Amino acid sequence: MPDLQAVPEPEAQLNVTYNGQNGDYPDPVNFDMTDGDLKQIVIEAIQTGYIPGIDPVENVDIGDFVVDRFNATDDLPQRLMVRPKTPFGR
C-alpha cells in the first residue's frame, strides 16, 4: 500500500468502492482529472484486478457513481473517492 504522506501535489490517492468492496488504486493520480477520466481509470483497474481489495469484474458499470474530492490537510494528502451514489449524505 502506498504511503499516503508521500503523495505529492497535484497528485492524489484514489479510493474506490465497488460491489461492496473497497480498495486504494496503487498509483497516485492527478487531482484535477475529469470525473470521466477517473471513472475510465477505475473501470480498467477493476476489469484487470489492479485495485487490491476489489475482485476483477469483466463488465464494470459505474456510470452513476460519484467522484468525491478532498483537499489535503496537515495529516492527509489530496484524496479522490469513486463510489456509488447513496440516498443520503453528499
Does 73 score more than 80 pLDDT? yes
Q: How confident is the model at residue 1 (pLDDT cuts 50, 70, 90)?
A: very low
Task: Supply the pTM of this predicted model.
Answer: 0.85
| Residue at 89 is within a domain | no
Here the CATH number for the domain that contains residue 23 is 3.10.20
Structural domain that includes position 72? 4-83
| Residue at 88 is within a domain | no
Number of independent structural domains in the chain: 1
Q: Are 45 and 82 in contact (CB under 8 A)?
A: no
Higher pLDDT, 46 or 6: 46
| Residue at 24 is within a domain | yes
| Residue at 21 is within a domain | yes
| Residue at 35 is within a domain | yes
| Residue at 16 is within a domain | yes
Higher pLDDT, 8 or 1: 8
Residue 55's CB is within 10 A of a number of other CB atoms, namely 12
| Residue at 90 is within a domain | no
Give the pLDDT mean for 49-64.
97
Query: What does the pLDDT read at residue 87?
Result: 77
Give the pLDDT mean for 11-17.
97
Sequence-separated (6 or more) residues with CB below 8 Å from residue 55: 19, 21, 49
Across the chain, what does the average pLDDT equal?
Answer: 91
